[in-house]
Amino acid sequence: MSAVLLRVRALSRRYEGVTALDDVTVTVPEGRVALLGPNGAGKSTLLKCMLGLVRPTSGDIEVLGMDPRRDPLGVRARIGYMPEDDAHLPDLTGVELCAYSAELAGLPPREAIDRAHAALFYAGVDDKRYLPVQGYSTGLRQRTKLAAAIVHDPDLLFLDEPTNGLDPASREEMLALIADVRVRRGCSVVLSTHLLADVDRVCDHVVVLAGGRLLADAPLAELLGTGDGRFLVRVKGDAGAMPRFERELAARGCTAAPSGASLECIVTPAGAGDTDAIWAAAAAASVQVRHLAPRKASLDEAFVKLLA
Amino acid sequence: MSAVLAVAKVSLLRAVRRPSTWWLSALAFVPALLGGWMGALGHGAMSVGAPLLIDVAAPLLAVPWVAGALGEVFERRVAVYWFTRPVPRWAPLLGEWLGATAALSLVLVLGGAMLAVADALTGSATIGSLFRLPAAMITEAAALAGLCIGVAALAPKHPVSVSIAVLAVTEAALPGLWAPMQSISLSRQVGTLAGVDPGASIGSLAGTAPSPSTLTAALVIALFCAVPMGLGARAVIDRDLG
Amino acid sequence: MTPVIEFAGVSKWYGPVLGLRDVSLRLAPGITGLLGPNGAGKSTLLKCMTGEVRPSRGEVRLFGRVVPYDDVFRRVGYAPEIETFFEELTAREFVTHLAVLAGYDGAEAARRAEAVLIRVGLAQALDRPLATYSKGMRQRTKLAQAMVHDPELILLDEPMTGLDPLARAQIVTLIQSLGAEGRTVLVSSHILDEVETMTREIVVLYQGQLLAQGNLHAIRDLIDRHPHHIVLTASDPRALGAALARLECVTAVRFDGADRLEVETRAPDACYAAIPRVATETGVKVRSLTSPDDNLSAVFRYLTTGARGAA
Amino acid sequence: MSAMVPPPNDRSAAAPRGEVHSLSYSRYAGPRRPRSAVPWVVARYAWRVQLRQRGVKVLLLLGGGVLAISGAVLGFAWSVPGMTGGGEADPVRAAEAQAIASSLEAQFIPGFLLVLWCGAGAVAADLNAGAFQFHFARPVSAQGYLVGRVLSGAGLAFALSFATLAVLCAERLAFGSTPLRMALTFAVGAALVTARATLLGVVAAGLSSLTRRKGLAQAMFAAVVFASSFVTRIVAAASDKPWVRALGLSGCVDARAAQWHGTAGLHGALAAVPLLACIGWGVVGAALAWWRVSRAEVMRG
C-alpha cells in the first residue's frame, strides 16, 4: 500500500510562450488519487508527461518506478488510459474496440476477445456490445471506454473526466466501478476531474494544480477537516413550508442559511449538536424532515479556499 | 433572397479564412506556368495548359474546397444552425452554391486568363481565345460547385471520395471505355466551350470523339450542376437531419 | 389560451430504435426542466420541435401550428448539444450571420449580436475565431445565438455539461432572467439539482416515454411511491427501532453499530412523518436522518432494476 | 479466469457439493506478443471495418468486374492463335507482358479509388477523432502505427491487383507458357503489383498526415496522383522525352514494367529513372508521414 506510484521532481514544461507546468514536485502513493484543477491548470500536460507523450522541459518524472522518457512503451504497457474525448474509431463495435485495445497491448487475438468480453461484463456493457460504439448513449460509451482501458490488465489506471455527461444513476455506478477497480484489482487509479463530488466519493489522496503550479498534495481527509457544528436540513412541504420552518427555527434560537437548493437550509443550532430544537421546529411548522446530517466542509469549499 | 446572399457572403468569408483555400488556389496557376514554359519551348501553351486546367486543376480545386467543407458542416450537424432560422431549407444550399461558384470562378478565371496570356505571348492566339477560356471556366466552376454541394448533402460522411469517384467515372473510366461516352464528360464539354482540342486529355484507347456542339455542351454542363443540387436539396428537405 | 408547446401522441423510431413513445404534453410560458437519464429521448423531443426529425406518428404544435413550418423560427431559439460552429468565424460574425438569417438587416443584426454576446459574458472574446473557444465559451455562444432574435420560446439541450461550478451558476442566472422576461424556456438536463435551482416545473422522460410532468411536488410524490431506506443515528437505536417496528408502514429495521439503525419502508411519506413523533414518544434523541432514496436518481435506479409496474 | 470460492460447508463429504465461481474481474497472466505485431493488429482491424462499408463493397465489386472482363477478353485473345502478338518477335513473351500490364493498368482506377477511400484520409481522420491518443496511450510506437496505416490503406487495392495477376498467369499456363517462365513472370508481376500498392499507400499516408481534415487529405492524394501522371504525360509527349513519364507516381511503376519487357525505350543512365522515381516517391511519402506523426501533439487540451 505504501509503494510510490508517481514521483515528480521539479517538473516544468513550457510550450511557446506558455508555461503548462511550473516546477512541480510531488510524490504520490499507490491508491486512488485525484488530480484536480480548473481548465488549463496543467492536468493534461502532467498526464502526457506520465505517458511519455510529452518531454518535460526540465525535471524528473518516475511512474511505477520507470522513467517514461527512457521507456515510454514500457510505461504505457502497464497503464490503462481512459480519455475524456471519445476516441472514435468509426464502425467498431464495443467488443471489437476492447479486443483491439487488448491486441495493441500485445495480447494474442483469442486472449484479446476473451478479455474483451470479461472487461465489458465487468463494466456492465450488456448485449449492446455487438453494436457500433458511435450509436451508444453517453453512459454506455463511458463504460466501454473504461472496459477498453482495463482490458489489458494495467497496474495503473488514468481516468480523465470519467463521469462527464453521465446521469446520476450512471454516475453512481461508474464511481462504484472505479472504487471496485482499486479494491479488487489492486490497481491504482488517477482520476482527473473538475467534478468535486466525484473525488469525495472515490479518492483518498488529492493533488491540486492551478496555473501549472502545485497547490495542494494531501490525503483527502486532511483537506476536508471535520464538521463545523452546522447541519444540513432538507424538508418536504408546500411553498410556504420553508419560511414557516425558518420562523420556527429562529424562535428556538437557531439560525438558518440558504444552501442553494430550494427546500434545503443550513442550520446552526443554539447549542452544539442540539438536534432536538430542529425537530421541534419542524413539528411546530408541520414540515417533514427528509434529511438531517452534520455538514462537512465540502470539497468545493476547500477548493475555493485553496484557489483564493 | 437576402438569406441566400447572406449565406453566400459568409461562405466566401469562411473560404478566405481557411488556410487550405490559399494553397489550393495555387493549383489553378500551375497550368499557366507549365503552359507558358512549354509554349516558350515551342510546344503550344494552350494544348498543354488547357487540358491540365480543365481536367485536373479545376476538379481537384473544387472538390476539397466545396464538397469537403460543406460535408463537414453536415456531418458535424453545424447545418442545424441554418435550419433553425426562418428561411426555407434550400436557401442555405443555394447560398453555398453561389458563394462557391463565385470563389471558384474568380480563381479559375484568373488561372485561365493567365494561361491565355501565356498562349498569346508564346504562340499565335486570336483575341477571341483570350475570353473564351475564362468564360468556359465560369461554367465549369458553377457545374463543379453544384456537383460538390449535391454530393455533400447526399453523402455527408464521404463527400470528397464520392465526388472524386463520380468524376473518375464520368471523366476517365467511361470515356476511356467507349468513345460516345465522352459526351457525358464535363471537362470535354467545357473544352468544347473553350475551343480547346480534347485529344491530349482523354485516353487514346477509345478512338475519336463525337463532333462537339455548343448546345450539347451547355446542356451537359447544366445537368452536371442541376441534378446533384436537386437531389441534395430534396435530401435536406425530406430527411431527418439529426 | 393555446399552449406554447403541444405534443399530441408523438412517437419516433430511428429504424427499429426507439426515440420517443406516445408522448403527449402541453407547456405554458416560464422555465421548464426536461429531465431524464442518458438516452431517455430528451434530445429527440427537442429535435421534434425544431423539425430536425419528423415524428413517426403524432403531431407537434408550436404556438398552435403543426411543425415544421419555416416561420416558426422567428419565435423559437434553439441551442443544440453539438460542440462545433463555423469555426472560421468570430463569435460576433457567427451570431450576426444567424441574426441576418432570422430576418434583421445588417446593422440591426450586428447590434443585436453584440448586445447578446455581452449579455452571456463573452465581451472579452467577441472578435476571436470560434476555433479558439473553450467548452464554456462554446456553451455561451450557443445560448447567444438562441437568444439573438428575441424569441418567445427557447430550447436548450444540455446547456451546462462541461462547465465548472462558477460558469454553471452564471448560466443558471441567465436562464432565470430569460424566464423572468416571460419567455418559455425548455432546458434539458440529467441533473435534478441543476434544474431545481432554475425552476419548479419539470417534465421527466424515461426510455422515450413521458414519466411525469408538472410541479416538482409531483416528482416528490413519485419519489414517495417507491420503497425508501432511511438511515438514522440516535442515542438509543434499539429502543427507537422497536417502536418503529410496530408501525404498519415500516417493513424492516436493521441495526448497524452502536448508534445507527436503518429503516425500510414502503410508505415513505407516512414513515418520515412518524419518525419524529415516535422519537419524542420514546424519548430517543435522533442526531441525523439520511436516505439514499429521497431523490430522482433513485427513482430512475428503481425503475431500471425492475418492478416496472410499481411506478 | 475464475477464482474458486470454497464451498461454505465441506465437513460432510457425502453431501452433494456445489461450487460458486467468482465472476468479478481477474488478472491476466497469459502470453503477450512482441511489439512488432502492432502494425498487423492496426491493419487487421482497419480491414475489418473497411469491408463493412458500402463504398468499399461497391469498389470491390467494380474491381471484380474489371478482373472478370480482362480475364475473359485476354483469355479469349490468347486462346485464338495469332490473334495477339502477331507482329512481335516472341508472341508468348508479349502475352506475358500483357498479363502484367493488365493487372497494373486495368485495376488502376478501382485500386486508386480504394486507396483514396481507405487510406488517403485515415491518418487525418484519426488525428481529428482523437484516435491518436487512443493508439499512443497504449504501447504503440509511431513507426508501428504508421506501418499499420500504410498496410490498411493499400491492402485491398493490392489484393485486387494481385488477384488479377494470379488469374491472368493461370490463364497463360493454360494457353502455352511454360511453368518456369510463368513462375518468373508471376514473381516479377507480384513485385510490381506490390510496388504499386506500397507507393500509393505510403504517399496516401504521408499526405493524409499533413492535415486534420479527411476530405482535404483525400483531395491532395487525388491531386498528386492525377496531376503527376497528367503533367508528366503531357510534358513527355510535348517535349518528346519519354523518360519524363517515368517520373509520375503511377508512371514510375508502369515504366519499370515496360523495362522488364524491354519496351520502355530508356537507355544508358536514363534506364535508372523509373527505379529512382519509385524510391523517391516512397521516401517522400514516408518522410512526410514520419515527420508529422512523430511531432504530433497527441492529446488535446
CA C123/CA C119 separation, integer angstroms = 8
Min Cα separation D18/chain B (Å): 53
Residue B200: per-residue pLDDT: 44
Q: What is the pLDDT of residues B19-47, one digit of tens each?
A: 888 888 988 898 889 888 888 887 778 87
Structure confidence by residue, pLDDT tens digits, D217-227: 998 899 899 88
- Is residue B80 predicted with pLDDT exceeding 50? yes
Q: What is the pLDDT of residue D89?
A: 61
CB distance from D51 to chain B under 8 Å? no
With bands split at pLDDT 50, 70 and 90, how would you rate the model's confidence at B207?
A: very low
The average pLDDT across B172-197 equals 80
Determine whether the interchain pair A238/C191 forms a contact, defined as Cβ–Cβ distance below 8 Å: no
Give the burial string for A156-192 (b: 16+ CB within 10 Å, else e): bbbbbbbbbbbbbbbbbbbbebbeebbeebebbbbbb
pLDDT band, very low/low/confident/very high, at D57 (cuts 50, 70, 90): very high
Contact status of C282 with chain A (Cβ, < 8 Å): no
Q: Minimum mean pLDDT among B159-173, B182-196, C238-252: which range?
A: B182-196
The burial class, CB within 10 Å (0-12 / 13-18 / 19+), for C100 is: buried
Domain residue limits, chain A: 4-224, 231-297
**pLDDT > 60? residue C310:** no
Per-residue confidence (pLDDT) for residue D2, from 0 to 100: 43
Q: What is the pLDDT of residue B201?
A: 44
Higher pLDDT, D116 or C36: D116
Q: Rounded to two decimals, what is the model's pTM?
A: 0.82
The answer to whether the Cβ–Cβ distance between C89 and B7 falls below 8 Å is: no
CB contact under 8 A, D300 and A152: no
Backbone angles phi, psi at C204, to 5 degrees: -115, 125
Tell me the three cell numbers of residue D138. Answer: 497504449
CATH (residue range A4-224):
3.40.50.300
Residue A36's beta-bridge partner residues? A193, A208
CATH number of C5-221: 3.40.47.10, 3.40.190.10, 3.40.50.2000, 3.40.50.300?
3.40.50.300
Q: Does the pLDDT of residue B202 top 50, yes or no?
A: no
Calculate how close chain D gets to B167, using CA atoms only, in Å.
11
Q: Could you tell me the pLDDT band of residue D265, with boundaries at 50, 70 and 90?
A: confident
Mean pLDDT of D7-17: 55
Q: Residue B151: what residue type?
A: V
Kindly write down the DSSP assignment for every residue of chain B, as one continuous string. Answer: -HHHHHHHHHHHHHHHH-HHHHHHHGGGGHHHHHHHHHHHTTS-HHHHHHHIIIIIIHHHHHIIIIIIHHHHHHHTTTTHHHHTSSS-THHHHHHHHHHHHHHHHHHHHHHHHHHHHHHHHHS---HHHHHHHHHHHHHHHHHHHHHHHHHHHH-TTSHHHHHHHHHIIIIIIHHHH-GGGGGG-HHHHHHHHHT---TTTS-GGG-PPPPP-HHHHHHHHHHHHHHHHHHHHHHHHHS---
Question: CB B72 to CB D213 under 8 A?
Answer: yes
- Give the per-residue pLDDT at D163: 93
User: According to the 3-state scheme, what is the secondary structure of D172-241?
Assistant: HHHCCCCHHHHHHHHHHHHHHHHHHHHHHHHHHHHHHCCCCCHHHHHHHHHHHHHHHHHHHHHHHHHHCC
Asked if residues A90 and D126 have their Cβ atoms less than 8 Å apart, the reply is no
Chain B, residues 49-88, CB within 8 A of chain D, namely 51-52, 55-57, 60, 63-64, 67-69, 71-72
Residue ranges per domain, chain C? 5-221, 227-292
Taking the C-alpha atoms of residue B1 and residue B13, their distance in angstroms, rounded to an integer, is 19
Residues of A in contact with D22 (CB under 8 A): none
Q: Which residues of C touch B241 (CB under 8 A)?
A: 52-53
- A168 to chain C: closest CA residue: C297
Residues of chain C neighbouring A37 (CB-CB closer than 8 A): none
pLDDT at C68: 82
Residue A138 DSSP class: H
pLDDT (tens digit per residue) in C53-76:
999 999 999 998 998 887 889 999
Q: What is the pLDDT of residue C149?
A: 94
The helix (run of H) or strand (run of E) holding residue A246 is helix A241-251
Q: What is the pLDDT of residue C157?
A: 93
Q: Tell me the C-alpha distance between C67 and C87, whole Å.
A: 30
Kindly report the CATH number that applies to the domain delimited by C227-292.
Answer: 3.30.70.100
Specify the range with the lowest mean pLDDT, choosing from A291-295, B238-242, C242-246: B238-242
Percentage of chain D modeled with pLDDT above 70: 87
Give the least confident one: B197-206, D100-109, D172-181.
Answer: B197-206
Q: How is chain B split into domains, by residue range?
A: 2-238
- Answer positive or negative: Cα dihedral of B51, B54, B57, B59: negative
* pLDDT at residue D291, as a whole number: 85
> What is the rounded distance in angstroms from the CA atom of residue A246 to the CA atom of residue A242?
6
Give me the residue from D25, D32, D136 closest to A53, CB to CB: D136
Q: What is the pLDDT of residue B198?
A: 53
Residues in A 142-201 with any Cβ partner in D closer than 8 A: 150, 152-153, 158, 180-181, 184-185
Average of per-residue pLDDT across D277-296: 86
Q: Which fold has domain A231-297?
A: Alpha-Beta Plaits (3.30.70)
Q: What is the pLDDT of residue B62?
A: 92
Residue B122 sits at the chain D interface (C-beta within 8 Å): no
- Contact partners of D by the rule of 3+ C-beta pairs under 8 A? A, B
Considering only CB atoms, D230 lies closest to which of B41, B55, B164, namely: B55
Q: Which residues of A touch C291 (CB under 8 A)?
A: 290-291
Nearest CA in chain B to D111: B165
- Give the C-alpha separation, D294 to B52, whole Å: 36
Distance from CA of A28 to the nearest CA of D (A): 21
Mean pLDDT of chain B: 85
Of A51, A85, A185, the CB nearest to D130: A85
Q: Does A308 touch chain C (CB under 8 A)?
A: no
C231: β partners: C262, C290
- Residue in D24, D41, D130 closest to A83 by CB: D130
The alpha-carbon gap from C188 to the nearest alpha carbon of chain A, in Å, equals 12
CA–CA dist A58, A145 (Å, integer): 32
As a whole-number percent, the residues of chain C with pLDDT over 90 amount to: 41
Distance from CA of D171 to the nearest CA of B (A): 24
pLDDT reported for residue C226: 79
User: D32: which chain A residues are within 8 Å (Cβ-Cβ)?
Assistant: 105-107
Predicted pLDDT of residue A170: 76
Nearest CA in chain A to C277: A283
Q: What distance lies between CA C281 and its chain's CA centroid?
A: 41
CA dihedral sign, ordered B129, B134, B138, B141:
positive
Inter-chain touch D24–A114, beta carbons under 8 Å = no
Q: Are C293 and C303 in contact (CB under 8 A)?
A: no
Q: What is the pLDDT along chain A (308 residues), one digit of tens a residue?
A: 347 888 888 888 887 777 888 888 888 888 888 888 776 778 888 888 888 888 888 888 998 888 888 888 888 988 999 888 776 687 889 999 999 999 999 999 999 999 999 899 888 888 888 888 887 877 888 889 999 998 988 989 988 888 877 776 677 788 888 888 877 777 888 988 777 777 777 888 888 888 888 888 888 777 766 566 788 888 887 767 888 888 888 888 888 887 666 677 888 887 777 788 888 888 888 888 888 888 766 666 676 677 66
Partner-chain residue, chosen from A77, A96, A107, that has the shortest CB–CB distance to D45: A96
List CB contacts of D76: < 8 A, sequence separation 6 or more. Answer: none
Is D215 near chain B, with CB under 8 Å? yes
Write down the ipTM of this complex. 0.79
Q: How far apart are CA A57 and CA A54, in angstroms?
A: 9
- What is the bridge-based pairing of β-strands C286-290 and C65-66? unpaired
**Chain C residue with minimum CA distance to A171:** C297
Distance from CA of D89 to the nearest CA of A (A): 54
- Whether A89 sits inside 8 A of D129 (CB atoms) is yes
Question: Which tens digits make up the pLDDT trace of D194-243?
Answer: 999 999 999 999 988 888 888 889 988 998 998 888 888 888 877 778 88
